[in-house]
Amino acid sequence: MDMHSLKENARHGTVIFPLALYEWKGTNDWKVPLHWHEEMEFIYFQEGTFSVWLNTRELLIHAPAIMCVHAGELHSLSLSAGGEESAVVFNLNILSFEHYDAIQAKLLRPLIDGRLRLPVLIEHADPLFPKVENYYTKIKQKIKEMNDCSPGNEIRKNSSYLRIKLLLFDILSLFYENHYLQPVKNIQNENEHQIENLKKVISYIKENYSFPIRLEDLASLVNLNPQYFCRYFKDNLGKTTTEYINELRIEKAAEALLETNRKIITIAQDAGFDNIGYFIRKFKQAKGVAPSQYRKEAKHQNSAIN
């Protein structure tokens, strides 16, 4: 089975609001085919009985229940007539902080990188179910408010989006304080010294992303040899230095695309890319669209709410 052929290509939400709500209340049976996507998904089974295939196992779910589907997980749903369910699909990166602190190190980054997992299923008998259901219902309401905003009502749209983020953090905090988060493997906790070292490296990258960055220079910041530094960086951040630097450069380029009218080749160079073809390829991998399309769609969305 070709995993790439099962990847869902639909965009969930928009460029500047990367989350979406889907609802189903069927009069006929319906099957969601096996697929995977790079976003997190919360599925709320409200009425009926559902057959769900998740990775290598089949689950029979009796509503009400809430399922957490992580990025990259193969899943399919069989929905029976008379049933009712909904799903919130969102990019976990919307929870990430720009400032690197203990929560980013111990909770958010491991969650985003797949080293930490939410519980697969919260059933009706679970003591946390009423709170999770309440948070989920409020998220649905706020997404609908966002979608129903009239052109020009930017404050309401943005405040609804902010509330959604807060509610997602409420769910995450609830799972965390009740020990529902599951480490994929035993990982040594980052201590303060490690966090301070990573701050040095990240600060250096943020200050110098527009210039060539040598691995040797990064390693010297924390007194490690380059080979060990590579392992150290990936163990703590879940990605290679090249991946991290490219992600930062792409985000800086995306900001410039939205906030300026500079040419794309100039933006790429200012962000640290000396090869325009490589920049476009990496941008499309990260954002799902080419830089020119990203700018066009974002401006269209902004004009609709201004």
Buried b vs exposed e over 14-25: b needs ≥16 C-beta within 10 Å?
ebbbbbbbeeee
Helix axes 226-237, 192-208, angle to 10 degrees: 100
What predicted TM-score, i.e. pTM, was given to this entire model? 0.71
Q: What is the DSSP string of 8-64?
A: -----S-SSS-EEEEEEE-SS-EEEEEEB-SSEEEEEEEESEEEEEETTEEEEEESS
CA 4 to chain centre: 19
What pLDDT is attached to residue 302?
A: 59
pLDDT by residue for the chain (306 residues), tens only, comes to 333 334 455 567 676 788 999 998 876 777 787 778 889 999 999 999 999 988 767 899 999 999 999 988 878 888 888 899 999 999 898 888 877 788 888 899 889 888 899 999 999 999 999 999 999 999 999 999 998 888 778 899 899 999 999 999 999 999 999 999 988 864 344 456 777 788 788 889 989 999 999 999 999 999 999 989 998 888 877 778 998 899 889 989 988 998 899 999 999 999 999 999 999 999 998 888 899 999 988 776 655 544
What pLDDT is attached to residue 137?
A: 97
What pLDDT is attached to residue 13?
A: 65
Sheet holding 49-54, edge to edge: 30-35, 75-79, 49-54, 57-62
C-alpha 162/C-alpha 165 separation (Å) is 5
What pLDDT is attached to residue 200?
A: 85
What pLDDT is attached to residue 251?
A: 86
Which domains does the chain show, CATH number per domain? 3-183 (2.60.120.10), 194-305 (1.10.10.60)
Characterize the bridge pairing of strands 30-35 and 116-117. unpaired
What pLDDT is attached to residue 101?
A: 83
What pLDDT is attached to residue 253?
A: 94
What pLDDT is attached to residue 50?
A: 93
Q: What is the DSSP string of 273-290?
A: -S-HHHHHHHHHHHHSS-
What pLDDT is attached to residue 192?
A: 61
C-alpha 21/C-alpha 6 separation (Å) is 21
